[in-house]
Amino acid sequence: MDKIFNLLAEHRLESYYNQFLTLGVQDERDFIDGVNGEDLDKMNFSQVEKNRFEKMKDFIQRLRAPQQAMPVQKSMESFHLRYTYPHCPEPKDIRGET
């Protein structure tokens, strides 16, 4: 079994595998830029199957999208933290300097 079949099976659309191959789908990118609503109508997709197809396209786009990393910025301000333990009467201090 190939990647296309597995992807279709994951979204319960495997019965259309041969029709997608006939349409020219060679890899998952073809679902995004090579298949439109008119093609789905010609393949007699029900509305529920069209919804599944759209979810599959969203899934493919999320997998292919570059991961957005949040930049980490170190605070340049100094800090002071005072804490106590339940059985220790004297407070402890933590200080951070830049």
User: Which helix or strand (DSSP H or E) is residue 34 part of?
Assistant: none
Rounded Cα distance, 80 and 90, in Å: 16
Whole-prediction pTM: 0.64
Residues of the chain with pLDDT under 50: 1
**How confident is the model over 72-98, as pLDDT tens digits?**
777 777 888 888 888 888 888 888 775
Rounded Cα distance, 32 and 48, in Å: 18
User: By C-alpha distance, which of 56, 65, 70, 64 is closest to 11?
Assistant: 56
Helix, coil or strand: residue 80:
strand
